[in-house]
Structure 1
Amino acid sequence: MTRSLAALPKAHLHLHFTGSLRIATLRELADKHGLRLPAALLQDWPPTLRATDERGWFRFQRLYDTARACVRDEADMRRIVREAAEDDASEGSRWLEIQVDPTSYAPFVGGITPAIEIVLDEAAVATAATGTQVGVIVAASRIRHPLDARTLARLAGQYAGDGPGTVVAFGLSNDERRGDTAQFERAFQIAARAGLASVPHAGELLGPSHVQDALDHLAPDRLGHGVRAAEDPALLAALVRRGVTLEVCPASNVALGVYDELSQVPLRQLLEAGASIALGADDPLLFGSRLLAQYESARRDHGLADEQLAELARGSIRGSRAPEGLRTELLAGVDSWLAATSSP
Structure 2
Amino acid sequence: MTHAVKKAELHCHIEGAASAALVLAQAEKYNSDISGFISEQQYVWSSFTEFLAAYDGAAALFRSAEDYALLARTYLQSIAAENAIYAEIFVSPDHAAAAGLSSEAYFEGLAEGIAQAKASSGIECRMIIVGIRHLGPEKVEAAARLASTRPHPLITGFGMAGEERFGKVADFARAFDIARDAGLGITIHAGELAGPESVRDALDHVRPARIGHGVRASEDGALTRRIAEAGVVLEVCPGSNLALGLYPDIGKHPFDQLRRAGVKVTLSSDDPPHFRSSVGREYQMAADAWGYDTADLTSITRTAIKAAFVDEQTRSNLLGQLD
TM-score by length of 1: 0.88
Report the alpha carbon displacement of residue 267 of structure 1 after superposing the two structures with TM. Answer: 1.3
Match of 1:192 in 2: 180
Match of 1:105 in 2: 96
Match of 1:338 in 2: none
Contact 1:279 1:291 in 2 (8 A): yes
Match of 1:267 in 2: 255
Paired with 2:314 and 2:244, the residues of 1 have a C-alpha distance of 34
Paired with 1:152 and 1:121, the residues of 2 have a C-alpha distance of 21
1:137-286 superposed matches below 5 A? 137-159=128-150, 166-286=154-274
Whether 1:87 and 2:78 are equivalent positions in the alignment is yes
Match of 1:304 in 2: 292
Q: Secondary structure at the match of 1:284?
A: coil
Report the alpha carbon displacement of residue 319 of structure 1 after superposing the two structures with TM. Answer: 1.3
Contact 1:246 1:276 in 2 (8 A): yes
Report the alpha carbon displacement of residue 240 of structure 1 after superposing the two structures with TM. Answer: 1.1
Report the alpha carbon displacement of residue 185 of structure 1 after superposing the two structures with TM. Answer: 0.7
Match of 2:18 in 1: 21
Q: Secondary structure at the match of 1:238?
A: helix
Report how many aligned residue pairs link the two structures.
323
Paired with 1:211 and 1:282, the residues of 2 have a C-alpha distance of 18
Q: 1:230 to 1:27 in 2, by over 3 A?
A: same
Q: Secondary structure at the match of 1:128?
A: helix
Match of 1:52 in 2: none
Paired with 2:168 and 2:108, the residues of 1 have a C-alpha distance of 30
Of stretches 106-115 and 24-33 in structure 1, the one that deviates more from structure 2 is 106-115
Contact 2:63 2:101 in 1 (8 A): no
Whether 1:330 and 2:321 are equivalent positions in the alignment is no
1:292 to 242, 260, 280: 280
Q: For 1:229-288, what per-residue CA distance to the aligned partner results, in whole angstroms no more than 9, with x for missing partners?
A: 111111111111111110110110010111111221111101101111110000012111
- Counterpart of 1:25 in structure 2: which amino acid? L
Contact 1:21 1:84 in 2 (8 A): yes
Report the RMSD for the aligned CA atoms in angstroms: 1.9
Contact 1:251 1:294 in 2 (8 A): yes
Contact 1:6 1:292 in 2 (8 A): yes
TM-score by length of 2: 0.94
- Identify unmatched segments of 5+ residues in structure 1: 50-55, 336-344
Percent of aligned pairs sharing the same letter: 35
Match of 2:120 in 1: 129
Q: 1:316 to 1:289 in 2, by over 3 A?
A: same
- Identify unmatched segments of 5+ residues in structure 2: none
1:41 to 38, 41, 46: 38
